[in-house]
Structure 1
Amino acid sequence: MQTIQASEFKAKCLALMDRVAITGETWVITKNGRPVAELRPCSGGRLDSPFGLHPTLEIHGDVIAPLDDLWQVLA
């Protein structure tokens, strides 16, 4: 496992995340010489649904087109 200081991690965060995604290696992030966090590849699979926790949700028809029914505004 490789280590990196929190200040350096802050500066290189995005590049390091890309590296971890490609190589699968784990990094330990330290603060004042003490380990505080680990950066490792995500073990869970990604959801195929763009709706997050609602994988069975489906869109039918045009959701952008205007409605045919007029709505009445209550004042």
Structure 2
Amino acid sequence: MQTINISEFRANLLKYLEVANSGEQISVTSNGKLLATITPPENQKQQAKKQLKALATNAKLHDITSPIDSDWDALK
């Protein structure tokens, strides 16, 4: 992670946004105090696939159309 001062960030905004877009995190400080962390954008499609994979590890498939313990009027 790269750390830069706010004045350097302002002077070279496009350069640092390109650095973040390439995958590097950037911490922006003022007088040694952290103001913000610029992170690369998440690939939403990849993030969704990760979440679905995580859900798939715990998912249980059951019959979702049969009534559990009550009669449905539609089945009479």
Query: What is the TM-score when the length of structure 2 is the normalising length?
Result: 0.53
Q: Distance in 1 between matches of 2:8 and 2:30?
A: 10
Structure number with bigger Rg: 2
Superposition deviation, residue 45 in structure 1? 3.2
1:37 is matched with which residue? 36
Give percent identity, aligned residues only. 36
Q: Matched residue of 1:18: which SS?
A: helix
Superposition deviation, residue 40 in structure 1? 0.8
Query: What is the TM-score when the length of structure 1 is the normalising length?
Result: 0.54
> Root-mean-square deviation (CA), in Å?
1.6
Structure 2, unmatched stretches of 5+, are 46-76
2:65 is matched with which residue? none
Structure 1, unmatched stretches of 5+, are 47-75
Higher helix share: 2
Number of aligned pairs? 45
